[in-house]
Amino acid sequence: MRQATIERNTTETRLKVVVDLDGSGVYRVDTGIGFLDHMLEQLSRHSLMDLELQCEGDLHIDAHHTTEDSAIAIGQAVGQALGNRAGITRYGEALIPMDETLTRVALDLSNRPYLVWKVAFDRDKLGDMDTELFKEWFHAFAQAAGVTLHVETLYGENNHHIVESCFKGLARALRQAMTIDPRRADAVPSTKGTLGGTL
């Protein structure tokens, strides 16, 4: 059962995350930030990962801590649920069109975290959320989950479409990479026999 529960409590946020990597895309998300909730719902639905997230954060200050800590907790839960990563396909990619926008996401569940982010916005906010926080979310998720993650919007104009295509791209690439390869269901997909550390 590839499931995990993470509780993260600091002076800035209190979170509980439950994931099931082999779910059906069922979600119950409440961060207190409407736009972020919408994006995390997309992540769950399109990855087929069941996701429960409850967060109480210091939104009276701003959305930074809630955004970053939600990504850390989800990333930790995904990493824990993957275990030693035996049997996974490991690599995933997605090319996501959304009206005038096209975004490419490629990832490796390598247990070597890294983010390449080539996404630009021409608005400071979407809803109540600062657009600069989306990079922070993807960076924190990649670090906590142990993902080498490349996100690039090839073109686009509508900032909502740009962000949503990034989250949907992550979801679809994760879905592919997390899938168990029936030909190698018990083997870690690395010539080293383990994932993480040096190349």
With H, G, I as helix, E, B as strand and everything else as coil, classify residue 96: strand
Q: How far apart are CA 68 and CA 90, in angstroms?
A: 25
Between β-strands 148-155 and 91-98, what pairing exists: parallel, antiparallel or unpaired?
A: unpaired
Give the side-chain half-sphere CA count within 13 A for 146.
Answer: 21
* pLDDT number for residue 145: 97
Q: In the chain, where does DSSP find H-type helix?
A: 34-47, 64-82, 133-145, 159-178
pTM above the 0.85 mark? yes
* pLDDT number for residue 193: 61
The per-residue pLDDT for range 116-153, each reduced to its tens digit, is 999 999 999 998 899 999 999 999 999 999 999 999 99
* pLDDT number for residue 182: 87
**pLDDT < 50 regions, the chain:** 198-199
* pLDDT number for residue 192: 63
CATH topology of domain 3-184: Ribosomal Protein S5; domain 2 (3.30.230)
* pLDDT number for residue 53: 98
